[in-house]
């Protein structure tokens, strides 16, 4: 790998690697209890990591997608749960900085708070009945307009939001959340609201504390209830006919950074398997199992899978950064990179488990945790089924277009 390629990338990866060492020292204990590792976020804020993707005009570091991808990957080597949580902040603000679709005042305010206070934000869109919003449908969470001073039309002064959301990742450390809600103004549209977790304008945010998962156990992805939360009208980032109406585009920031997180977990597993193979000396063999060709082959298969995944992710992110005018043509590239990276990461960890044999099942080694964590990559949009259908439809359309020329 010829990365990092720039001094800035080297700085980001070095910083992330130092943080990862601290995260790794706490990871096993937090995984066992499922407790949220608040100290990790204190460490991240202490080195101003939330500034990574904030534009330089607001005091941030101005990292692009490739820069952020390498940073996330390095963080995940230390702790997948923490890296996944921070990824949510990076992808939310990174894509917002790229599109500039928020109101300038709202965007600047959140950016400056990220730089000065280390404020963290995540988009929380999933609902128990709706499922993933990437599949379409209107949320049951609602936002009712509220007027003041006798006003009955035009933009309301604020909106009153009520609803239940699931997978509220990183909720104990969040300062802001973006909540999609069905607007109760007759438009039939969905609004996306930036809401403070402190709810200073009234209402109640209830964290259900019900997340108990097989892997990524320390992401605190609890359900949350929003009860009569008053949100100023200027806190709307946008409104549309619904998630299903957004068309065939992809969220490259989300899909690529998520994938890099799981590749980072797999890299950690590969390193753990190599260390185990170097240290394990069976009495019947009399030398480390790392000298056995079968073990070398397993490690080589994992290395091959990881190289494939990383090359594809890095290339996709680099293309996204370098050719903004061609992003509309990169749907297949992003989908392919996500599919390949997440599946390769799982297969690589499996080879690492086979290197250690029965010892890989024991909590004395971190391999079983990596094995549980890495499987989460399959469940993030775009999932495997949707990716394959999308690629198939695009291939059919491309050939049909050729035949009509």
- The per-residue pLDDT for 246 is 46
Give me the domain span that covers residue 154: 123-245
In whole angstroms, what is the distance from residue 98 CA to residue 94 CA?
A: 6
Could you tell me if 139 and 111 lie in one domain? no
Tell whether 391 is covered by a domain. Answer: yes
Could you tell me if 109 and 193 lie in one domain? no
Could you tell me if 257 and 240 lie in one domain? no
Could you tell me if 70 and 134 lie in one domain? no
Look at residue 327 and give its three-state secondary structure.
Answer: helix
Could you tell me if 214 and 349 lie in one domain? no
- The per-residue pLDDT for 248 is 46
207 DSSP 8-state letter:
E
From 229, 245, 261, give the residue that closes a domain: 245
Pairing state of beta strands 158-168 and 142-146?
Answer: antiparallel
Number of domains in the chain: 3
Tell whether 368 is covered by a domain. Answer: yes
Tell whether 67 is covered by a domain. Answer: yes
Pairing state of beta strands 204-207 and 190-196?
Answer: unpaired
Look at residue 277 and give its three-state secondary structure.
Answer: helix
Pairing state of beta strands 142-146 and 176-183?
Answer: parallel
Strand-pairing partners, residue 226, are: 163, 205
- The per-residue pLDDT for 134 is 64
Kindly report, residue by residue over 64-121, the tens digit of the pLDDT. Answer: 999 999 999 999 999 999 999 999 999 999 999 999 999 999 999 999 999 999 999 9
All residue ranges of the chain with pLDDT < 50 are 244-248
Could you tell me if 148 and 104 lie in one domain? no
Residue 368, CA distances (Å) to 323, 375, 381 in order:
40, 11, 25
From 69, 88, 119, give the residue that closes a domain: 119
Tell whether 36 is covered by a domain. Answer: yes
Helix (H) or strand (E) segment spanning residue 341 = helix 331-356
Could you tell me if 134 and 276 lie in one domain? no
Q: Give the CATH number for residue 104.
A: 1.10.540.10
Q: Give the CATH number for residue 133.
A: 2.40.110.10
pTM of structure: 0.94
In whole angstroms, what is the distance from residue 320 CA to residue 91 CA?
A: 14
Could you tell me if 21 and 139 lie in one domain? no
Tell whether 256 is covered by a domain. Answer: yes
Residue 402 exposed, middle or buried by CB count within 10 Å (0-12, 13-18, 19+)? exposed
Tell whether 1 is covered by a domain. Answer: no
In whole angstroms, what is the distance from residue 194 CA to residue 176 CA?
A: 6
Tell whether 397 is covered by a domain. Answer: yes
Could you tell me if 99 and 166 lie in one domain? no
Q: Give the CATH number for residue 400.
A: 1.20.140.10
Strand-pairing partners, residue 207, are: 224
Could you tell me if 254 and 240 lie in one domain? no
Rg over CA atoms, the chain: 22
- The per-residue pLDDT for 201 is 66
Could you tell me if 308 and 398 lie in one domain? yes
Look at residue 45 and give its three-state secondary structure.
Answer: helix
In whole angstroms, what is the distance from residue 123 CA to residue 191 CA?
A: 13
Kindly report, residue by residue over 128-152, the tens digit of the pLDDT. Answer: 988 667 666 789 999 999 988 777 6
- The per-residue pLDDT for 202 is 76
From 57, 84, 119, give the residue that closes a domain: 119
383 DSSP 8-state letter:
P
Could you tell me if 93 and 145 lie in one domain? no
């Amino acid at each position: 790998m010829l990365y990092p390629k720039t001094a800035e990338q080297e700085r980001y990866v070095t910083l992330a690697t130092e943080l990862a060492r601290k995260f790794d020292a706490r990871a096993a204990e937090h995984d066992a209890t499922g407790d949220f590792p608040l100290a990790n976020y204190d460490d991240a804020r202490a080195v101003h990591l939330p500034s990574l993707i904030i534009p330089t005009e607001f005091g941030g570091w101005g990292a692009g997608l490739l820069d952020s991808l390498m940073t996330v990957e390095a963080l995940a080597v230390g702790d997948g749960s923490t890296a996944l949580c921070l990824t949510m902040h990076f992808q939310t603000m990174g894509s917002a900085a790229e599109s500039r679709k928020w109101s300038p005042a709202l965007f600047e305010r959140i950016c400056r708070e990220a730089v000065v206070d280390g404020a963290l934000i995540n988009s929380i869109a999933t609902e128990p009945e709706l499922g993933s919003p990437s599949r379409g449908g209107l949320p049951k969470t609602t936002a009712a307009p509220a007027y003041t001073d006798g006003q009955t039309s035009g933009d309301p002064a604020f909106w009153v939001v009520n609803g239940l959301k699931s997978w509220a990742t990183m909720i104990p450390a969040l300062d802001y959340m973006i909540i999609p809600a069905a607007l109760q103004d007759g438009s039939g549209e969905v609004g996306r609201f930036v809401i403070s977790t402190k709810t200073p304008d009234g209402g109640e945010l209830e964290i259900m504390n019900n997340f108990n998962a097989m892997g990524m156990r320390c992401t605190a992805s609890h359900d949350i209830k929003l009860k009569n939360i008053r949100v100023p009208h200027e806190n709307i980032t946008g409104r549309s006919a619904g998630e299903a109406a957004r068309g065939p585009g992809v969220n490259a920031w989300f899909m690529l950074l998520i994938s890099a997180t799981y590749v980072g977990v797999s890299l950690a597993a590969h390193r753990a398997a190599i260390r185990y193979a170097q240290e394990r000396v069976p009495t019947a063999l009399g030398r480390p199992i790392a000298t056995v060709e079968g073990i070398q082959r397993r490690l080589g298969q994992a290395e091959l899978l990881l190289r494939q995944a990383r090359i594809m992710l890095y290339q996709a992110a680099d293309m996204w950064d370098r050719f903004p005018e061609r992003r509309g043509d990169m749907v297949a590239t992003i989908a392919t990179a996500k599919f390949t990276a997440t599946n390769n990461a799982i297969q690589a960890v499996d080879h690492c488990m086979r290197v250690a044999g029965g010892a890989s099942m024991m909590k004395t080694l971190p391999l079983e945790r990596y094995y549980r964590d890495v499987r989460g990559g399959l469940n993030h949009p775009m999932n495997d089924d949707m990716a394959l259908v999308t690629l198939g439809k695009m291939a059919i359309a491309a050939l049909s277009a050729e035949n009509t020329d």
